[in-house]
Amino acid sequence: MNPITFYKCLADETRLRCILLIHQEKELCVCELMQALNESQPKISRHLAQLRNCELLTDRRQGQWVFYSINQALFQWIHTVLSETLQNNPDFLADNIIALEEMGNRPQRAQSCCA
């Protein structure tokens, strides 16, 4: 991924929060991100679609849910930048993580082997 595309992905509050939350949590579905960010379904979904189109995120469907994660095929420096950002801005996601943890009925992850 070229650096401009990458930084455009990070340059929006909704997207940056989604990306960093997913990076930290490994995998989140749309409804979890809606709850964590307190944003509408189409808004979250649109931004995720954009990140999927750029190949920053990959998705997998499990039943009714679609789980998003960071594309592991990306160059290492991309992961480094995300980790640096997360580690050095511990407050940035604080409220989102609280909201996520307060969420009831979070979908169960199944292993790919038994989905």
**Chain contacts with a second copy (rule: CB under 8 A):** 2-4, 7-8, 10-13, 16, 75-77, 80-81, 84-85, 87-89, 92
Task: Find the shortest distance in angstroms from Cβ 34 to a second copy.
Answer: 20
- Residues pairing with 115 in the sheet: none
- Is 40 or 83 the residue whose CB approaches a second copy more closely? 83
- Is 77 or 98 the residue whose CB approaches a second copy more closely? 77
Token pair of 68, please?
Answer: 């998003």
Neighbour tally for 105: CB within 10 Å: 7
Q: Is 101 within 8 Å of 25 (Cβ atoms)? A: no
Closest CA to 59 of 113, 112, 3: 112
Name the 3-class secondary structure at 91: coil
Residues in 42-61 at the binding interface with DNA, rule: CB under 7 A? 42-43, 45-50, 59, 61
Task: Find the shortest distance in angstroms from Cβ 15 to DNA.
Answer: 7
Residues in 71-110 at the binding interface with DNA, rule: CB under 7 A? 105, 107
Q: Is 33 within 8 Å of 21 (Cβ atoms)? A: yes
Where on the chain is the footprint of DNA (CB under 7 A)? Answer: 8, 11-15, 29-31, 34, 40-43, 45-50, 59, 61, 63-66, 105, 107
